[in-house]
Structure 1
Amino acid sequence: MALVVKGKVIHNGKLYLTGEEIPGLKETESKRLLQLEVIEVDKKTTKGKNSTPPADNQSTDTSYE
């Protein structure tokens, strides 16, 4: 079971973006973030930020110039 960000979350000084997993949350922290609906339980996700790599035609570049 993984806890995945639904938007932008800053936790312990680190920015987590949509789809990223937040590791090492205490039970009280995860309950609070679930109640605020900023994270969700993703039973498919294992370790890592994303379990599904981007398709060949999708860019991973997030810079906007």
Structure 2
Amino acid sequence: MATKPFSLPQIVIKEGKIHKNELQQLGRDDTWLMDQLTQKNEALNNVLLATLDEQGNLTISPYQ
């Protein structure tokens, strides 16, 4: 059974700090990221971890 290649999501926010290099590698910037956080009603300082995959799916894990 053949498997399809895949890449792991990149960390774009860790402990409330934006990782700009990873965003740029995925063709995004901090303005786009802040817009996404606003749409999801999340504040940057409340984000423990956020990842972005190559399809543009942003996954946010807030502090509890």
Give the TM interval when normalised to the shorter protein.
under 0.3
Q: TM-score, normalized by length of structure 1?
A: 0.26
Name the structure with the higher helix share: 2
Name the structure with the higher strand share: 2
Q: TM-score, normalized by length of structure 2?
A: 0.26
